Amino acid sequence: MKETYSINDVAMITGLSTRTIRNYISLGFLSGEKVNGAWSFTDKQIEGFTQDKAVKPSIKAKKNAIVFDFLGTKPSKQDKMCTILDLTCQESLSASVFFCKKISEMKPVSELHFASEPSGTGVRLILSGSPSDVMGLIDQYYAQGN
């Protein structure tokens, strides 16, 4: 697991835009530290942010939008899939970070959507995109010993 996270990392983890993350910082909902002019956040700061009752509804709306957009679009000529994974893992943020890292490194076949949310003792992940991209990510996650 990373020690600190950037605004882009927080945006990927929450599904919110970087502009929205910056607004939450200026409003005091997310605290971090500026290092060499760039914001840096710890996992505790991110977990506190995602659990804030004022922030949770916007994160939930973004996550739900991935599924609703998938269900609401007309079938296309390309295969697409949407999957929801409920992972029971000790460190839910590490699963989210794993997928964020892999997604940022890849060149998806088609548009790829990702969201994660702490859920009880684990994390709920939502992935939507081409079957090869989605299944490739899931295979990589389990190949690393999860």
Mean pLDDT score of the chain, rounded to an integer? 86
Distance of CA 127 to the CA centre of its chain: 9
Cβ(110)–Cβ(130) below 8 Å: yes
What is the structure's pLDDT at 146? 64
Which stretches of the chain are DSSP H helices?
7-14, 18-27, 43-51, 56-72, 92-105, 131-143
Q: Confidence class of residue 62 from pLDDT cuts 50, 70 and 90?
A: confident
Handedness of CA 58, 11, 85, 97 (dihedral sign): negative
pLDDT digit string, tens, across residues 100-138:
888 888 888 888 888 887 777 778 889 999 999 999 999
Token reading at 23: 């607004």
- For residue 84, CA distances in Å to 26, 72, 117 come to 32, 17, 11
Read off the pTM.
0.71
Average pLDDT in the 28-49 region?
A: 91
